[in-house]
Amino acid sequence: TYVIAEPCVDLLDKACIEECPVDCIYEGGRMLYIHPDECVDCGACEPVCPVEAIYYEDDVPEQWSAYTKANVDFFDEL
Ligand code: SF4
């Protein structure tokens, strides 16, 4: 799955939502989240993010690794 990290917080550009073929990017509070079970790993969202907030799960920068779990937790709590 792809993961959205800190640069999205309070920005919510939403260009990624337009690109996602399976509509698995959701708005939640201060940022957007990618549903880990619905994402098909197509990568279409990554290049359109103006602030490079989106990463493949194995490529999330170390300082933002907590966002991988936050992404999963967001949907667990719904
Ligand atoms: Fe949607 Fe593809 Fe991005 Fe996953 S990688 S969130 S399926 S656009």
Domain residue limits, the chain: 1-77
Ligand 1: does its nearest atom lie under 6 Å from the Cβ of 43? yes
- Using a cut of 0.80, tell me whether the model's pTM lies above it: yes
Ligand 1: does its nearest atom lie under 6 Å from the Cβ of 42? yes
- CB-CB contact of 15 with 48 (8 Å): yes
Please, which residues have CB within 8 angstroms of residue 51's CB and are 6 or more apart in sequence?
Answer: 7, 8, 11, 13
Q: Which residue's CA is the nearest one to ligand 1's atom 8?
A: 20
Give tens-digit pLDDT for 16-55. 999 999 999 999 999 999 999 999 999 999 999 999 999 9
At residue 57, the pLDDT reads 96
Domain 1-77 has CATH 3.30.420.40: no
| Ligand 1 center from residue 17 Cα (angstroms) | 9
Q: Which residue's CA is the nearest one to ligand 1's atom 3?
A: 45
ipTM value for the complex: 0.98
**DSSP-assigned letter for residue 14:** -
